[in-house]
């Protein structure tokens, strides 16, 4: 994609925010199967605040921008989603630091930092039927594709496919974290809302990247 690293990160974050708002009902319906159904509502309300204050967010560098996003998300999203998603942005921002350009290795490091932050904050890991079950395989796929020399659009296309496949596979898992864990075996047979949320978001990012000025 053309443009600076900050412009690229802006496109990604704005797409995440808009996707969360657009899919409020869908994400809520997914969560209502075994959870309390507030995932879609909480995510939409938080990212609405991001979009409302979009022009005023600190754009000193990539790190400052992402950390501010994390602060907004943490303060505005209710339940467990706020701390989880907010931590992801904060840790990615800390990893990026005062960068104005990002290498593929730095992007992977940012995703790993976000993932580690989610694991620590949610006391969860891959296999617990959370968004990590899509996020971690997706990050692994991004790392492999970047190492192979694929361009950004191709990397994102693989990331989207990987996240979707991984999210759908969560239907075979039993939830071990969050409100869904209270249902035990009854959580098997339905996908995790957070994991599917990641898949839908990454699909939208991949589409936006190719339609809004990819190079």
Note the pTM of the prediction, 2 decimals. Answer: 0.90
Determine phi and psi for 59, rounding to 5 degrees: -120, 30
Rounded CA-CA distance 90/70 in Å is: 5
Residues 6+ apart with CB under 8 A from 11: 1, 3, 205, 208, 209, 212
How close are the terminal C-alpha atoms of the chain, in Å? 4
Per-residue pLDDT of the chain (215 residues), as tens digits, is 445 899 999 999 999 999 999 999 999 998 887 666 788 888 999 999 999 999 999 999 999 999 999 999 998 876 677 789 999 999 999 999 998 889 999 999 999 999 999 999 888 889 888 899 999 999 999 999 999 999 999 999 999 999 999 999 998 876 655 544 444 445 565 789 999 999 999 999 999 999 985 44
Give the domains, in start order, of the chain with CATH numbers. 5-211 (1.25.40.340)
């Amino acid at each position: 994609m053309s443009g600076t690293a900050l412009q690229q990160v802006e496109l990604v974050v704005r797409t995440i925010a808009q996707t969360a708002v657009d899919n409020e009902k869908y994400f809520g319906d997914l969560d209502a199967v075994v959870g309390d159904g507030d995932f879609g509502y909480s995510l939409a309300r938080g990212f609405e605040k991001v979009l409302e204050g979009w022009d005023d967010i600190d754009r000193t560098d990539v790190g400052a921008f992402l950390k501010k996003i994390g602060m907004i998300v943490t303060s505005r999203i209710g339940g467990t989603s706020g701390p989880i998603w907010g931590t992801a942005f904060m840790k990615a921002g800390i990893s990026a630091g005062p960068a104005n350009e990002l290498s593929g290795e730095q992007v992977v490091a940012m995703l790993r930092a976000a993932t580690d932050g989610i694991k620590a904050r949610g006391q969860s890991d891959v296999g617990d039927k959370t968004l990590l079950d899509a996020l971690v395989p997706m990050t692994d796929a991004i790392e492999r594709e970047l190492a192979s020399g694929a361009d950004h659009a191709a990397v994102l296309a693989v990331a989207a496919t990987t996240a979707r496949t991984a999210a759908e596979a969560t239907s075979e898992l039993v939830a071990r974290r969050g409100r869904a864990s209270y249902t035990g075996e009854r959580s098997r047979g339905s996908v995790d809302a957070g994991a599917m949320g990641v898949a839908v978001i990454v699909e939208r990012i991949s589409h936006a990247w190719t339609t809004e000025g990819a190079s």
